Amino acid sequence: MEKNLEHIRHSLAHLLGAAVLDLYPGSKLAIGPAIDDGFYYDIDLPAQAGIASAISDNDLPKIEDKMRELLKTWKTFEGREVTADEAKKLFHDNPYKNEIINELSEKGEKITLYTSGSFTDLCRGGHVENAKEIKSNAFKLSRVAGAYWRGNEKNPQLTRIYGLAFATKDELQKHLIMVEEAKKRDHKKLGPELDLFTFSDLVGPGLPLWTPKGTLLRNMLDDYVWDLRKKHGYMQVDIPHITKKDLYEKSGHWDKFKDELFKITTREGHLFAVKPMNCPHHTQIYARKPHSYRELPQRYANTTKDYRDEQTGELSGLSRVRAFTQDDAHVFCRISQVKEEFLKIWDIVHEFYGVFGFELQVRLSRHDPKHMEKYLGDEKNWELAEKMLSEIIKEKKVTAIDGLGEAAFYGPKLDFLAKDSLGREWQVATIQLDMNMPERFDLSCINEKGEKERIVMIHAAIMGSIERFLSIAIEHYAGAFPVWLSPVQAIVIPISDRQNEYAEKVTAELRDNSIRTEINTDNETLGKKIRSAEMQKIPYLLVIGDKEIQANAVAIRQRGKGDLGQLSTNNFIEKIRKEISERN
């Protein structure tokens, strides 16, 4: 985020807090940070005063007006350092601010207050120097939501008011247009409309159920990734969905993720965990026998479901779920083989995402040397691993984003960022170098001298989570998948019942040529049949009337292009099969 824009957004969070206190006396402000497209403030609105039930999206224009009214009276943000007692005196009736004050005091950190107009807030700084930098027409309150204090569902639920903010009115308007387009493309809306997936209250939140069409999509994507991998010598493996907790204690995942694990206690009293990741299981496949250096690299691929106990309030369609499928792979190799293996995965990533038209940017996600307590292993190994990844980036002649502090807890990684058709950026594939897990599990090979040699481990996910990738792809394409990926590639539509026999014949011929085809013989008007097919976003509509029967042909309507005229069935089959094979 550009620094000055971040300061504008942070300043607007203060302005929002001030407006809420003015309009709803007795409210208690919690936290109000800047975020990627604006800002928010979490607020405790006292129910006993009848306020909580009154705040809704309908109230946002009123709060916005108050913000603009106050902005005229604001000049600068004046900061001053205070003692914990002084801060507590000011916020004596606010438990949220007091909790933060106590934490700052315990850590020995500075406690600062910032004042603008008649509003003073607890804040570490980062505002505009002059309130005139905030354009009154370049921000807009967007929505009201609920949020638990500190993201913990055991804490009080607060009202969160979100706002959008940009440097200029034009930038805000462009963003609002993009937001409206994103709503139309929302995978939570399109997925069920296209009959790809569903959720059930009886099954539980965050646990998607995949229909035949959605399952077909998942399988095609996974098959494509496997086609790319097997060219590079990967072998498929399979693992159970549960494990004794001992595995995760040894790998280091238990201490890091124990609160996010689904746990099972057996009848005999043994504690098992449902797997949230696959790498520790894969280490045990490698460890099953001694390996000569001649057998390395060992490349294991495994598409399998994982499970994490995400908080209910953080679940979001397919983007954040409790059951997700990873197209996971792990390479066990010598240090000297790391570069070659990384480059192979790099090529797989670019070939896969190139088919979807995504532009990729790479981020070198490094550890933060100031907080080594967050990571496994020692500083020396981390520096060595990160140097190797830097050399790979240099060889590929790309400019990488510096991701300080973004490493996995066991090793640095190359993360690939993709921009979709709306210009939104998503983290997609990842390649991670791990020197720590082989150390913890004593993984080695017998080298040329007949001695044990410590190996390293590479983690590689192309889609990452199939669920999350599909949420991105659905929105990227607005549900209109390319022909090769469409669950239904063509639909045959006879104009009336007397063309049904010929329509059935055409349908059978297309299916015999592995073209996913449906037929609509419902007793409805042609217009209604066409509208129904267009709503399903089927790439090709083959309309059949008497003229088509006489010509032994079909009349083609292509999604997005309209009528293409008549083609013989054979010529259409040749056309669509070429399109499918080329993944156009």
Catalytic residues, which ones? 279, 308, 326, 328, 330, 413, 459
Nearest-angstrom CA–CA distance, 428 and 348: 13
- Give, to the nearest 10 degrees, the angle between helix 500-512 and helix 569-581: 40
Rounded CA gap, 204 and 469, in Å?
21
Q: Phi then psi for 538, rounded to 5 degrees? A: -75, 130
Query: Measuring CA to CA, which residue among 369, 351, 327 is closest to residue 459?
Result: 327
Rounded (5°) CA angle 74-77-80: 140
- Beta bridge partners, 402, equal 364
From residue 473, alpha-carbon distances to 241, 317, 480, 485 in Å are 27, 13, 10, 11
Tokens 């009528």 identify what position?
563
Q: Choose among 213, 210, 230: nearest CA to 305.
A: 210
C-alpha angle 388-393-395 in degrees, rounded to nearest 5: 95
Q: Give me 464's structure tokens.
A: 């990452």
Contact 160, 42 (CB under 8 A): yes
Q: Is 522:503 a contact under the CB 8 Å cutoff?
A: no
CA distance 264 to 523: 53
CA–CA separation, 470 vs 483, rounded Å? 16
